Amino acid sequence: MTDKRDYYDVLGVERSATEKDLKNAFRRLARKYHPDRSDEQDAEEKFKEIQEAYAVLSDAQKRAHYDRFGHDNSAGNPFGGFSGGGFNINLEDLLGGDFFSGFFGGGRGRTRERRGSDILVRHSIDMATVFTGSEESIELDLPMECITCQGTGAKDGNTTTCGKCNGQGRVRVRQQIGPFVNEVIQDCRDCGATGSVIESPCSDCKGRGHRVENKTVRFSVPQGAEHGTRLRLRGQGQPAERGQGSNGDLLIEIEIVSHAWFERNGSDLIMSLPLGYPDLMLGTKVTIDHIDGKKLDIVIPPRSSAGHTLEIKKRGLPHMRRSGRGDVVVLLKLHVPEKISKADKKQLESMKSNFNPVDQMERILEDAADRRANE
Ligand SMILES: [Zn+2]
Ligand SMILES: [Zn+2]
């Protein structure tokens, strides 16, 4: 099924390897096989294999899954396939700055793109809006770049180069790992990794570079939107630290207010309809207002049973990513009045012989068989 090598073999470690063992093995092999450095044949393949093995084994959840199921990802793997997707390994941090300074001209570390945080806002809509989709416009208090200091956080925009990192935003830190001392590059804490320090903070934003402002945000809710659907408005989130970098995103999570009588199942709408015994027996038509603005006719055929459902095709909600609509599913129920008059009681008594099952036990068995067949 798979000719992949065992991840532990790839890294040359025992199955009982600790996090530290894995890291050391990865460091050693990555240095050896990094395609930019290695003269080995198939270095790139080897490096990918090492990276994949490390990505899986260094993640406790993925490792546990791998220990149990090996490379078999076919069934019930809740983490998605191991291969294919990218692995989030910070090579620079793992291998240390020295490793990279060789081929990035040395000295100046690569500047990472800095980005503000994403902001999540919840927005409620009703079922009718799910049906039509809509252009929404809401007022939000959002952090915006401070105009006074243009997001720098500094009064008059004056900043000085951070002394600790010499303006690079990152510093080399010596780390003792077992018997080895490694150099790792980390964000500079003195300047919040921006490389500059503020001499006197902007009084309007207190040096933060952003301040909360009321803003009108417009977005469109797609037809058939589901509860929990998230809309991403790029660049409308938190500005980056001190204006250096791009804004985060604004995420709008759609909440759908419960409908008065419909439940929702995907694009189907489900409702229950209590009817009197004569209507179930003789059939009837019930007309109610519907979310599509038209009337919904529910035709109950004669001899309908309480507990059965009727489907009204293509009168449900629009499908979200394709054309067409779901159905309305009507669960028939028997309405039992609170009180009955003496006269009604008499009439019902007289009906018993015609309506009650002749052979009760036979009906019980028949009904049970029906129910099982429908399971
Ligand atoms: Zn300011
Ligand atoms: Zn600094």
- Tens digits of per-residue pLDDT, 140-178? 999 888 888 888 888 877 788 888 888 888 888 877 666
119-256 topology per CATH? Chaperone, DNAj Protein; Chain A (2.10.230)
pLDDT for the residue numbered 244: 76
pLDDT for the residue numbered 90: 58
User: Is pLDDT at 315 greater than 80 in this prediction?
Assistant: yes
Contacts of 93 (CB under 8 A, 6+ apart): 184, 185, 186
Q: What's the gap in Å between 197 CA and the centre of ligand 2? A: 7
Q: What's the gap in Å between 161 CA and the centre of ligand 1? A: 19
Better pLDDT: 213 or 37: 213
Q: What's the gap in Å between 89 CA and the centre of ligand 2? A: 24
pLDDT for the residue numbered 246: 87
Highest mean pLDDT: which range of 65-74, 232-241, 304-313? 304-313
What average pLDDT does the structure give for the chain?
84
pLDDT for the residue numbered 41: 74
Q: With beta carbons less than 8 A apart as the criterion, state whether 185 and 218 touch.
A: no
Q: What's the gap in Å between 122 CA and the centre of ligand 1? A: 28
Backbone angles phi, psi at 347, to 5 degrees: -60, -45
7-89 topology per CATH? Helix Hairpins (1.10.287)
Q: What's the gap in Å between 194 CA and the centre of ligand 2? A: 7
Q: What's the gap in Å between 169 CA and the centre of ligand 2? A: 5
pLDDT for the residue numbered 207: 84
Backbone angles phi, psi at 219, to 5 degrees: -155, 160
Render pLDDT for 241-250 as a digit per residue (tens, 0 to 9): 777 788 899 9
Ligand nearest to the CA of 192: 2
Q: What's the gap in Å between 238 CA and the centre of ligand 1? A: 14
pLDDT-derived band at 79, boundaries 50, 70, 90: very low
Beta bridge partners of 184: 173
Of 48-57, 179-188, 337-346, the poorest mean pLDDT is in: 179-188
The Cα 114–Cα 108 span in angstroms is: 17
Q: What's the gap in Å between 204 CA and the centre of ligand 1? A: 5
Q: What's the gap in Å between 200 CA and the centre of ligand 1? A: 11
Q: Give the start-to-end residue ranges of the domains of the chain.
A: 7-89, 119-256, 263-374
CATH of domain 263-374: 2.60.260.20
User: Is pLDDT at 61 greater than 50 in this prediction?
Assistant: yes
Shared fold status for 7-89 and 119-256 = no
Which stretches within the chain are classed as H helix? Answer: 7-11, 19-33, 43-57, 60-69, 91-95, 97-101, 127-132, 277-282, 342-355, 360-374
When pLDDT is averaged across residues 17-41 and rounded to a whole number, the result is 81
Q: What's the gap in Å between 170 CA and the centre of ligand 2? A: 6
Ligand nearest to the CA of 146: 1
The structure's pTM equals: 0.58
Ligand nearest to the CA of 201: 1
Ligand nearest to the CA of 210: 1
User: Is pLDDT at 137 greater than 80 in this prediction?
Assistant: yes
User: Is pLDDT at 74 greater than 70 in this prediction?
Assistant: no
Q: What's the gap in Å between 125 CA and the centre of ligand 2? A: 46
pLDDT for the residue numbered 109: 41
pLDDT for the residue numbered 89: 56
Percent of the chain with pLDDT over 70: 85
pLDDT for the residue numbered 152: 84
Highest mean pLDDT: which range of 6-20, 184-198, 266-280? 266-280
